[in-house]
Structure formats: structure tokens, C-alpha cells
């Protein structure tokens, strides 16, 4: 459990430090090219990992509540099975998934109260509205509990599909913008799938 706790803490810390830096130094939708194939681009996500969303403000609050139950379930699974599944595959997979889930949940729960600006839901227009300027972490708040938006920043504009390909022609190969927490969940999930027997044993 000690190794899992250390991994969770470090991933959560790195996730939040990168988010706070981007949120307080970039304008919304501002991008900086690091390499031709990689950019830091600040977007806010009111939904799930990799920008998926549904249901406006009510859907966003429902997702925040579901995240709480999901994290509780993952935490219970780790606590119950860590003594018998005492291998690095289990530890790294569960720690990365748990840390990533906590990182994005923290944004949803508290960012609306920590920062002075962020995406807000316009009920009349039925859409999320942006804002001007750079946010400050002054605890003045732009939304209430459960209504904060997740900060994303890693963007890989690798290439566009050739125009002659049906349906996807001319579109970006990978257009998603994500964060450290999303990356941790993805890597942890990949470990769990590739090494299912070692990660889950006979618990599933």
C-alpha cells in the first residue's frame, strides 16, 4: 500500500501543478508550440476525459457525483485486494488509475471555487461560455461546488488523414487535448488490459 500511496501522491501533485500553471498563465484556447507535433494548448473541459461531455450543467454535476462513487469503488478494491495481489502490475495500474481519477475529480469539485474565471453554463443559450483574460487563484470563484471545469493542455497535432479517405478524410488523426490525470488513467488502464491476470488475479 505504501508504494501505491506514493505513486498516487506524486501523480496527483504533478497533475495539479501543471493545471495550476496553465490555468494561471495562459488565456483560454491559447497554445504554445513546443515541437511541430506537440503543443501546450489551454482548454477547459466540463465533461469527462479527453473532452467528452453531455447534458450541460446537470450532466456535468452528475458526472462529478459519478466520479465520487467510482473513486470510492476503486479505493475499496485496492484496499481489499492489495494484500493478496502484491505485485508491481497491480500497484502501478491501480495507483495510476486512482490518481488520475482523483486529479480530475478535484478540478470538478473545487476549481469553480478556487479560480475567479472559467467556463460557465449559459442556460438561455444552452452552451458553455468562455471568458477573457487569465484566471487568478484568489478563491473568489466562478461556480459552485461540483461545477468546476477540468483543465487540459497536452495537444498532439500529428497529421491529418488524406482527403480521399471516406468519413475521416481531412480530419486530424488525434485531435484530443488532455492532461496528466488523463494520461495516468490511460497508462494504468493499458497495464490492466495487457497484464489482466497479474493485475486482477482471480478477483474478477
By annotation, the residues acting in catalysis are 152, 182
* Residue 196 grid cell: 489482466
What order do you get walking across the sheet with 38-45 strand by strand? 31-35, 38-45, 150-155, 177-178
Distance separating alpha carbons of residues 81 and 201, to the nearest angstrom: 10
Task: Locate 56 and state its grid cell.
Answer: 450541460
Handedness of CA 122, 124, 127, 132 (dihedral sign): negative
Amino acid at each position: 500500500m505504501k508504494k501505491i500511496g506514493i505513486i498516487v501522491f506524486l501523480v496527483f501533485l504533478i497533475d495539479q501543478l501543471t493545471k495550476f500553471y496553465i490555468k494561471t498563465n495562459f488565456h483560454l484556447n491559447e497554445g504554445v508550440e513546443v515541437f511541430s507535433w506537440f503543443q501546450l494548448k489551454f482548454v477547459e473541459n466540463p465533461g469527462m476525459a479527453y473532452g467528452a461531455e453531455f447534458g450541460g450543467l446537470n450532466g456535468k454535476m452528475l458526472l462529478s457525483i459519478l466520479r465520487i462513487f467510482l473513486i470510492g469503488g476503486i479505493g475499496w478494491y485496492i484496499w481489499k485486494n492489495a494484500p493478496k495481489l502484491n505485485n508491481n502490475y497491480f500497484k502501478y495500474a491501480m495507483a495510476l488509475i486512482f490518481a488520475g481519477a482523483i486529479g480530475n475529480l478535484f478540478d470538478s469539485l473545487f476549481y469553480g471555487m478556487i479560480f475567479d474565471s472559467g467556463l460557465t453554463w449559459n442556460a438561455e443559450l444552452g452552451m458553455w461560455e468562455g471568458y477573457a483574460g487569465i484566471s487568478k487563484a484568489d478563491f473568489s470563484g466562478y461556480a459552485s461546488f461540483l461545477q468546476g471545469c477540468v483543465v487540459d493542455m497536452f495537444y498532439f497535432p500529428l497529421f491529418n488523414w488524406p482527403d480521399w479517405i471516406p468519413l475521416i478524410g481531412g480530419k486530424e488523426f488525434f485531435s484530443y487535448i488532455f492532461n496528466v490525470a488523463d494520461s495516468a488513467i490511460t497508462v494504468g488502464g493499458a497495464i490492466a488490459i495487457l497484464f489482466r491476470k497479474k493485475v486482477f488475479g482471480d478477483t474478477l
